[in-house]
Amino acid sequence: MTDTTLAASTEPATADATAAPAAAASRPAVREIGIIMNGVSGRMGYRQHLVRSILAIRDQGGIELPDGTKVTVKPLLVGRSEAKLADLAAKHGIDDYTTDLDAALADPRWEIYADFLVTKARATALRKAIAAGKTIYTEKPTAESVDEALELAKLAAAAGVKTGVVHDKLYLPGLQKLKRLIDSGFFGRILSVRGEFGYWVFEGDWQPAQRPSWNYRAEDGGGIIVDMFPHWNYVLENLFGDVQTVYAQAAVHIADRWDERGEHYTATAEDAAYGIFELSGSQGPITAQINSSWTVRVNRDELVEFHVDGTHGSAVVGLFGAKIQPRNATPKPVWNPDLEDTHDYDADWQQVPTNDVFLNGFRQQWEEFLTSYVLDTPYEFDLLAGARGVQLAEAGLRSSREGRKVELPALSLD
């Protein structure tokens, strides 16, 4: 831990790392940004944020801004186990780690606080980081309730700190292809979106589960609605339109599960959710229907797929792939249960070419956030956007509990 490790770190490249982003004229040629990375031993913290994003940016020598400024990154690993942090630091050539979050937050060398903790621990840590005046970058969901998520957004706004919330699914190659299709007008008027997300997560008895056990305990912040509805909110609002209402049915399909130590526990959080969302599309209302499940065996090309139907064409997109069927290449099936249908419906679809190089989505968003931070430009995927994601999760849970459609009022910082 700690004071010694913190003290051993080298100085940042800028003379005053706490200063507000400097005006372009006085910006140094190289700007090193110190980033507190909390929860870095976890699945997301380690793989996506540390290895695939921050270390990848470090190892390529930083990122270059349009004006030629180079932005480099310096991580400070924070966690509860000094031994784990020491291992990670040694393995990846990182100078700084600590178990003392308060000391890290008090140290002006670290400008950004990044949070990958279990959901339950997030709000307390974010509150501290905002009070310390740090720029915030965080996993979703930003809090466990919309009130708390909105309060965090307001606190950050009042403190004048920039905030960013992970919106990784928007950066998936398949969804970027979908965005291109939408922007090109391919669909005509979009009518509906059907999403299928999920895969089988083992119960943990005869094969270890491939997700953490807290995901299945409501009291520990688990549940597929809290996990996935924040994603669906930003996917829907950024691609199709704001979510106006939600109807969701949650299910604990498998109550008996075994944890990381092989011990039996009773699942208290839903492992599947069947949701219907009404959206305000730019050309009229859109109905979205998304199934999210950790209790489904995959019979699709990818672990997530969205099928979009429009008046002029349809598309099916996944993490990577995208295929389309325009109006003028649409077959004309006729329902006849007496005749076997030999038409090859798969063959009616055309692959959308990639035409681009897509970075890892987490890293691309980190690069955009760092750029926005240094240049002091507006950043739309902020804690208010994060609060809308929490709002949808909360409304989905309420809908399921009360068996009715729930409206989502617009959230604001006022």
Ligand X SMILES: NC(=O)c1ccc[n+]([C@@H]2O[C@H](COP(=O)([O-])OP(=O)(O)OC[C@H]3O[C@@H](n4cnc5c(N)ncnc54)[C@H](O)[C@@H]3O)[C@@H](O)[C@H]2O)c1
Q: 39 or 195: whose CB is closer to ligand X?
A: 39
121 near ligand X (CB under 6 A): yes
- Judged by CB under 6 A, the number of residues near ligand X is 18
Alpha carbon distance 398, 335 (integer Å)? 39
Q: 124 or 354: whose CB is closer to ligand X?
A: 124
| Per-residue exposure over 157-184, b if at least 16 CB sit within 10 Å of its own CB, e if not | beeebbbbbbbbbbbbbbbbbbeebbee
Contacts of 285 by beta carbon, 8 Å cutoff, 6+ apart: 278, 279
Q: 211 or 405: whose CB is closer to ligand X?
A: 211
Contacts of 345 by beta carbon, 8 Å cutoff, 6+ apart: 331
Q: Minimal distance in Å, beta carbon 139 to ligand X? A: 4
172 near ligand X (CB under 6 A): no
Question: Burial of 297 by CB count in 10 Å (0-12 exposed, 13-18 middle, 19+ buried)?
Answer: exposed
168 near ligand X (CB under 6 A): yes
Q: How many CB atoms lie within 10 A of CB 376?
A: 13
Between CA 301 and CA 229, with CA 177 as vertex, the angle to 5 degrees is 70
Q: 49 or 323: whose CB is closer to ligand X?
A: 49
Residues 289-328 interacting with ligand X (rule: CB under 6 A): none
218 near ligand X (CB under 6 A): no
188 near ligand X (CB under 6 A): no
Interface residue with ligand X, options 9, 69, 98, 119 (CB under 6 A): 119
Tokens matching residue 191: 């009518």
107 near ligand X (CB under 6 A): no
Rg (CA), the chain: 23
145 near ligand X (CB under 6 A): no
Closest-by-Cβ residue to ligand X is 42
Cα–Cα separations (whole angstroms), residue 17 to 33, 35, 114, 297, 374: 8, 11, 16, 50, 11
Q: 47 or 343: whose CB is closer to ligand X?
A: 47
Q: Give the x-and-dash track for 7-46 against ligand X (CB under 6 A).
A: --------------------------------x-xxxxx-
Q: 21 or 151: whose CB is closer to ligand X?
A: 151
Q: Minimal distance in Å, beta carbon 80 to ligand X? A: 6
H/E stretch holding 74 reads strand 70-78
CA 241: distance to chain centroid? 18
Interface residues toward ligand X, by CB under 6 A? 39, 41-45, 79-80, 116-119, 121, 139, 166, 168, 212, 227
